[in-house]
């Protein structure tokens, strides 16, 4: 996997409550139609999820999760590589049966399913679970701890028979803005492990906070109540649709520093960025 051209994974949430696009593709027909648009825009992989993993999200019954995603995966799999974004083993198995060939695993424990089916697996680092992960994330050394966790998971999966193992630092999953920025700054540490690295920063809250802070600096003192001394995690983020510049900047940064895949909402602009990175 190392040395290949960078890939772009398109996000397709068949959910009512995902942080950016929840409810937009809630029916199978809407989701399939959007998936076909993502293919047209250049997606190498489409990541289909039926359970939101945004901060504060409540678990979804796996039966409902499968009802949401299986028709979508079955419809798209003949045309593009499909990943299933799930924490549930039975859902992963059903998705593979419908045509998915990659398991994007925020729980980082589903590698036995991938091994048994002969498909790829993405180990995502998370501290806690979606309902609680952003309440008080803490690390003594976030870069070292995330690296150690992911290397251990990757080695376990490879030893267990998974041939294609990816690692993902889990930007925004149980991490403060400072943690996220530290992981991006030292992405070379993960790349140096030799495992292909997937990075997902797209439209996440820390980018919204950085954008709000940037607006604050550019316009002060015309925005009363906004204090440049406010800790970044206490800054009210701009809306998700205003986070595209940060999404593109961090995706490009990740690719320039060795990431093999970026997971994004904004396909066309990211594919253009990937093309430019490859032309350097």
Q: Dihedral of CA 257/262/267/271: which sign? A: positive
What are the structure tokens assigned to 61, written together? Answer: 């019954």
Q: DSSP strand E in 100-232: where?
A: 102-105, 120-124, 165-168, 198-199
Q: Please give the DSSP secondary-structure letter assigned to residue 139.
A: -
Told to judge if 263 belongs to the known catalytic residues of this protein, a careful annotator would answer: yes
CA distance 83 to 9: 9
> What are the contacts of 189-195 at 24+ separation with CB within 8 A?
189/143, 189/147, 190/146, 190/147, 190/150, 191/257, 191/258, 191/259, 193/147, 193/150, 193/151, 193/154, 193/167, 194/2, 195/150, 195/151, 195/154, 195/165, 195/166, 195/167
* Catalytic residue, candidates 153, 186, 203, 204: 204
Residue 271 CB: number of other CB atoms within 10 A?
A: 17
* Catalytic residue, candidates 54, 87, 213, 263: 263
Told to judge if 54 belongs to the known catalytic residues of this protein, a careful annotator would answer: no
Among 231, 174, 226, 166, smallest CA distance to 204 is for: 174
Q: Which residues are identified as catalytic? A: 204, 263
């Amino acid at each position: 996997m190392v040395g290949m051209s960078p890939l772009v994974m398109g996000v397709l949430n068949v959910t009512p409550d995902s942080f950016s696009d929840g409810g937009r593709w809630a029916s199978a027909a809407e989701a399939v139609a959007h998936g076909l648009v993502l293919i047209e825009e250049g997606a190498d992989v489409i990541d289909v999820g039926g359970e939101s993993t945004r901060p504060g999200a409540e678990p979804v019954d796996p039966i409902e999760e499968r009802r949401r995603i299986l028709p979508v995966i079955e419809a798209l799999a003949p045309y593009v590589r499909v990943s299933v974004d799930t924490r549930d083993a039975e859902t992963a198995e059903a998705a593979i049966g419908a045509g998915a060939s990659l398991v994007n695993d925020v729980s980082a424990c589903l590698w036995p399913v991938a091994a048994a089916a002969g498909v790829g697996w993405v180990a995502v680092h998370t501290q806690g679970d979606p309902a609680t992960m952003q309440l008080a994330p803490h690390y003594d050394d976030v870069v070292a701890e995330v690296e150690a966790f992911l290397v251990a998971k990757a080695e376990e999966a490879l030893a267990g028979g998974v041939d294609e193992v990816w690692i993902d630092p889990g930007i925004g999953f149980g991490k403060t803005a400072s943690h996220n920025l530290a992981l991006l700054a030292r992405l070379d540490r993960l790349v140096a492990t030799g495992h292909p690295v997937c990075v997902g920063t797209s439209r996440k809250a820390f980018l919204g906070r950085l954008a709000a802070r940037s607006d604050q600096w550019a316009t002060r003192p015309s925005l009363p109540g906004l204090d440049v001394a406010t800790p970044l995690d206490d800054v009210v983020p701009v809306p998700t649709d205003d986070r595209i510049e940060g999404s593109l900047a961090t995706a490009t940064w990740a690719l320039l520093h060795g990431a093999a895949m970026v997971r994004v909402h904004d396909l066309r602009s990211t594919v253009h960025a990937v093309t430019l990175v490859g032309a350097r």
